[in-house]
Amino acid sequence: MSFNLQLIWDSLPLLLAGALVTIEITALAVGIGFFIGLCVGIARLSNIKPLKYLAIIYADTIRGTPLLVQIFLIYFALPLLIHQQINPFTAAVIACSINSGAYVSEIFRAGIQGIDAGQMEAARSLGLTWWQGMRLIILPQAFGKILPPLGNEFIAMLKDTSLVSVIGFEELTRRGQLIIAKTYGSFEIWTTVAIIYLIMTVSITQLVAFLERRNTIHDKR
Ligand code: ARG
């Protein structure tokens, strides 16, 4: 077997463009997922029973079904219901955001539960409402604690976006498949694709480590 370096060189612009799309979908999914997760995580801890149960059903249903099936449901099944075609980009962002939201909600729940209950009691005894206590006292502390699992979610999502290649959306993995279909360079292209993913995930790890360091310096003051 010969290793065709020229093929890698020639394919690099296309693959890097695909990587950019991968980053775009991941950032959108984790960004939207963050807000879904925050709301659902708080809903799950609230005393309002219907909200709590809705949050539980959402998180358990999404975490209990494969992302791949969720992508198929949104891209192929949902259009039959709403009588409107959904483009692959929108379907990918919707599926990944809803999915990420479920995982992030559990991260938030754990983070909030990890804060001593006395903090909320102190906040309430100072005259703050439950919501003010959550926003001003609990969440800022919880946020520092959930940075590492949020970083994990970011990395997991970045890799899992490769699943949207199945609906023909041209992110990094799909670009790789298309180039191989033309050039038969499986070895060169899959190796390059893997390395590009690795560079992206290691960069996120570094970014999270940096944020964590900044956070602990802040804590010590
Ligand atoms: N691989 C799992 C699945 O198929 C998880 C996918 C979503 N991952 C994530 N970090 N949100 O459901």
CATH number of 43's domain: 1.10.3720.10
Q: Which residue CA neighbors atom 11 of ligand 1 most closely?
A: 100
Q: Give the per-residue pLDDT at 217.
A: 67
Alpha-carbon span 34 to 29, nearest angstrom: 8
Closest by CA to 165, choosing from 50, 28, 68, is: 68
Q: What is the pLDDT of residues 130-162, one digit of tens each?
A: 999 999 999 999 988 899 999 999 999 999 999
For residue 68, the CA-to-ligand 1 centroid distance in Å is: 9
> For the chain, how many structural domains are there in total?
1
User: What does the pLDDT read at residue 218?
Assistant: 62
CA 89 to CA 164: how far, in whole Å?
9
Closest-CA residue, ligand 1 atom 6, reads: 67
Residues in the ligand 1 pocket, defined by CB under 6 Å: 66-68, 99-100, 103, 153, 156-157, 160
What is the CA(96)–ligand 1 centre distance, in A?
Answer: 9
220 pLDDT above the threshold of 60:
no
Is the pLDDT confidence value at 10 over 90?
Answer: yes
Q: How far is the CA of 66 from the centre of ligand 1 (A)?
A: 7
Q: DSSP alpha helices (H): ranges in 126-185?
A: 130-132, 139-160, 172-183
Q: Encode pLDDT of 67-114 as tens digits.
A: 999 999 999 999 999 999 999 999 999 999 999 999 999 999 999 999
Helices and strands per DSSP (H, E), number in the chain? 10, 0
State the residue range of the domain holding 176. 5-217
* Ligand 1 atom with least separation from CA of 156: 10
- Please give the model's pTM, rounded to 2 decimal places: 0.91
Centre of ligand 1 from the C-alpha of residue 34, in Å = 15
pLDDT digit string, tens, across residues 161-205: 999 999 999 999 999 999 999 999 999 999 999 999 999 999 999
Q: Which of 210, 133, 213, 175 is nearest to 15 (CA)?
A: 175
